Structure formats: C-alpha cells, structure tokens
Amino acid sequence: MKITKSKELYERAIKVLPEGVSSGSRGPLNYKPFPPYMSEGKGSHVWDVDGNEYIDWQLSFGNLPLGHAHPKIVEIVREKIASGSHFASALDVEVELAELMVSILPNVDKVRFTNSGTEACMTAVRIARGLTGKRKVLKFEGHYHGWYDGLLVSSNPQPWTTLGHPNDPVRVVDSSGLTPGSWEDTLVCVWNDADALERMLQTHGHDVACVAMEGVMANMGVILPRPGYLKRVEELCKHYKVLFYLDETVTGFRIAPGGAAEVYGLKPDIMSYGKALGQGFPVAAIAGPSHVMDSIKYGRVLHYGSNNAHRLGLYCAKTMLQELLLDNAAGFKKMNAIGEEMTQRLNQVARDVGVNMRVQNCGSMFHPVFTDQEVITGYRQFCEHVNLPKYGEFTQHLREQGVFFTGTKTLHNVACTVHTHADIEKSIEAAGVALERMKSAK
Ligand SMILES: Cc1ncc(COP(=O)(O)O)c(C=O)c1O
C-alpha cells in the first residue's frame, strides 16, 4: 500500500490545519499515523491520492445513501449550478422538498432547513426552551447531538469507574470553553431505562423543556432501544409536560423513510435531521407539528442563516429522496438488507476465527465492537466492556486490504444502495484476514 502522497500532504497539513483536518474525528486520533487523503469517490468505492482503492463503508459519516457521484445527483448538480448556486431567497425546491418530507415523516407539519446536524439540534433545544419557558434539557449518557455547548455533556466514553451511580450520573463536560450555564442546564440520565427517566422527571420535570435523545444510540456503536422503551419515553414526556425531541440526524432517511419515529411508532414533538438528508451536501432540518414549528415564526425563537436551504443541496436532497422512495421505498430496503448481511457475515467470521468481536446493527447501520459481552445494551456496559483500541487495529488492517470502515471507534458504519455482492464478499474476506492477524499478534 503506497502512502507517499498522503504522508506529504499530512506534513503540509499539520502546519496550517490543527491536526491536519477540519473535524477532529478525521485526523490522527482515529487514523494512525495520519489519514489517507481521499481524492475520488464513485459508487461504493473511494480512492486516495496515492491511488489506493477502498470499499467505502464510512460513506461520509452516513451522508451518502446513494453512494458517491450517483448519476442522478451528478446530473442535477450539473444542471442547477449553471443557473446559480444559492440565492438566499425563497425557492421552489424548498417548498417541494418540505412537502416531500412532510408526506413521509411521522407527526411533521412543517420543516425548517439549516446546514448541519449541530445547528438543527441547537435550534431544536432553543425551540423547546422558547415554547415551554423552561430552561433545562435532559439528555442521555453516551448520546451525541453535535458540538453545541448545551448538549456537550457526557457524550464520550469514560472509564466506567468514573460514571457515578446510575440514579445520579456524573455529568462530564466534553470540552473546555463551556460556560457553567451549559453544564448546569443540562441534566443527564441513563438511557434504555424508563424508570430512571421517570425518577428524573418526577424531580425535575417542572424545569425541563425537552428530553433529547437519539432513537438508536449511534455514537456508541449501534445500541438498540429495548422493546417498548421509546414509547414509554414518549408517554412520560406527555405526562410531565416535557417536549420529546428525537434527534434523527443519523437515523433519519437511513433506517426507514420516516426514520426511528416510523420504525418505533413514535410521534415526537421535535425532530432534527442531517447527514443522509443532504446526500453529501450540507443540508439539515428541524421538523415537527405546526404548534411547535411556528414558534420560530417572525424570530420569536430566533433561527436565521445565510446558507440555510442551499439551492444545490436541496436539489440533491430531493433527488436522493425520490430515488430512495421508488418502488415502494426499495432503496431503504436494499440498504437495510446489505447492513443486515454485513452484520450476520461479520459475526460469523468472528466466530470462525474465534475472536470476541460482536456486530450490532439497526438496518443499514452496523458496528463491530470487541467485547466478551453477548450484547451491548447501554453506555455504561460499552464503557466497561468494549475494547476501543482493538477496533482501531481492526480498521487499520481492513484499510490495508482496501476496505474502509470508519476509524472513529465509537461511531458506526453504513451501507448504501450501490454496495454490491462483490463488495460484501471482499469486505468479509478482509475482515477474516484482519481478525487472523490480530489473533496471531497476541
Ligand atoms: C445523533 C447526532 N446528532 C447530531 C450530530 C451533529 O451533526 P453534524 O456533524 O452534521 O453537525 C451528529 C453527528 O454525528 C449525530 O450523530
């Protein structure tokens, strides 16, 4: 594997970019000793500047349901760029995409576009506070909602001995530079435990604007909600007059047309979307019923943005959704089937080689964890029982064989509609070799 050009670029990059990248998770923390510099993507494959080819299961952190350079996306971008990239004014495509989203998302009457998942999460929290007049946000250990101050608490794995009692989790801020307010106004609860949430709402509900959560925990591998848990959360929110904010940044337009809300039969008060929505362009959204969304009318709860509803991005989002919805949403079914097959086959390889690796998935999202546990159901178990460095080793061995899994140890991998049978076979074979190498290196 040649890495000369990536090495040269990295040496230049660290002089002008912190860590040599524009988002920490892409840098040397996750790709040792430096990341491959990518130069091209087509379908399910990417190429780096040294000409190495990889099967891509990271897919721009889940942003590419149709894979790279899908012909329909290339065509729409070519066509529309010729008539202007962005007007920052009202657009026909804005109405069309919003109508399409309203037609497939549960409990959504209105949509507001923004540029990133973080901005959408930040806006959702502001709406909840503005609408209820309450200050606090209740989030969950191990859930990540972007890098907004008010949600940057207890999102990362920690030594399990430092987590405190589950009835009163120690709140760990994820960054320097936060004011006390962002910590004080953010309550933290253990996830997948409805009784724990009920106890917290009994005590703090009068002061809580919203309960914010990922429907499937997607920033600690892939951890599924227990049967009935999310429904119970919704009921508790209603009972304690707290808004239920479901962050669908990962699950939206990925696991089903209506995301986790559809899969688990939910009617959240606020939802946020990002990642897959833009098909590689920075398009995100906040959505919900009119009585919630109308709180941003006339800036009463302020939400602005010069680049909101970027014209090219909206055309891509609309084209991508139309494509996925064809033939009774066949695109979603295909992605999920590939994710399921990867999960089963990787688990089988791990059993065959005799290595404690388990793959958990939710449709097209899947993630291998190195653990002696049968199943990981929560953050604390993840912190205590998942060996993160081993994941780093595994993905390094995969990359050397032309298979690109996310290097971010707590994230997840994804399937797209254009992964092929050959991609799966080659990836599984590479996984077998990677695990054998790791076993013999012990
Ligand atoms: C659940 C969730 N919410 C929000 C975000 C933030 O999205 P963005 O990176 O587009 O700001 C992420 C990003 O990984 C996420 O996983």
| Index of the ligand 1 atom closest to the CA of residue 251 | 1
Q: CA end-to-end span of the chain, whole Å?
A: 24
Q: Could you tell me if the CB of 247 is within 6 A of ligand 1?
A: yes
What spacing in Å lies between the alpha carbon of 201 and ligand 1's midpoint? 26
What spacing in Å lies between the alpha carbon of 158 and ligand 1's midpoint? 20
Q: What are phi and psi of 267, to 5 degrees?
A: -130, 75
pLDDT tens track for 352-409: 999 999 999 999 999 999 999 999 999 999 999 999 999 999 999 999 999 999 999 9
Q: Which pLDDT score, from 0 to 100, does residue 191 have?
A: 98
Tell me the mean pLDDT in the region 243-260: 98
Tell me the mean pLDDT in the region 45-60: 98
**Structure token digits, residue 399:** 């990359």
Q: What are phi and psi of 38, to 5 degrees?
A: -85, 145
CA distance 63 to 249: 10
* Closest residue CA from atom 4 of ligand 1: 145
Q: What's the farthest any 2 CA atoms get from each other in the chain? A: 64
Q: Which pLDDT score, from 0 to 100, does residue 151 have?
A: 96
The model's confidence at residue 282, banded by pLDDT at 50, 70 and 90, is very high
CA distance 206 to 134: 8
Tokens 């919203």 correspond to 210
Q: Which pLDDT score, from 0 to 100, does residue 64 have?
A: 98
Q: Which pLDDT score, from 0 to 100, does residue 37 have?
A: 97
Q: Could you tell me if the CB of 186 is within 6 A of ligand 1?
A: no
The model's confidence at residue 350, banded by pLDDT at 50, 70 and 90, is very high
Q: Which pLDDT score, from 0 to 100, does residue 63 have?
A: 97
Tell me the mean pLDDT in the region 421-430: 98
* Mean pLDDT, the chain, integer: 97
The model's confidence at residue 309, banded by pLDDT at 50, 70 and 90, is very high
Any residues with CB less than 8 A from the CB of 176 and at least 6 apart, and which? none
pLDDT tens track for 177-193: 999 998 899 999 999 99
Q: Could you tell me if the CB of 249 is within 6 A of ligand 1?
A: yes
What spacing in Å lies between the alpha carbon of 142 and ligand 1's midpoint? 13
SS3 211: strand
Q: Could you tell me if the CB of 144 is within 6 A of ligand 1?
A: yes
**Structure token digits, residue 365:** 């999202």
Tell me the mean pLDDT in the region 144-166: 95
pLDDT tens track for 24-34: 999 999 998 99
What spacing in Å lies between the alpha carbon of 6 and ligand 1's midpoint? 27
CA distance 296 to 132: 13
Burial of 302 (0-12, 13-18, 19+ CB in 10 A): exposed
Q: What is the Cβ-side half-sphere exposure of residue 370, based on CA atoms within 13 angstroms?
A: 15
The model's confidence at residue 36, banded by pLDDT at 50, 70 and 90, is very high
Complete DSSP assignment for 269-287:
SEEEE-GGGGTTS--EEEE
Q: Could you tell me if the CB of 252 is within 6 A of ligand 1?
A: no
The angle that helices 388-400 and 421-440 make with each other, rounded to 10 degrees, is 120
What spacing in Å lies between the alpha carbon of 328 and ligand 1's midpoint? 28
Classify strands 45-48 and 38-42 as parallel, antiparallel or unpaired. antiparallel
What spacing in Å lies between the alpha carbon of 112 and ligand 1's midpoint? 17
The model's confidence at residue 199, banded by pLDDT at 50, 70 and 90, is very high
Q: Which pLDDT score, from 0 to 100, does residue 189 have?
A: 98
Tell me the mean pLDDT in the region 151-171: 95
The answer on pLDDT for 442 being more than 90 is no
Asked whether the beta carbons of 265 and 225 are under 8 A apart, the reply is no
* Closest residue CA from atom 6 of ligand 1: 146
What spacing in Å lies between the alpha carbon of 118 and ligand 1's midpoint? 6
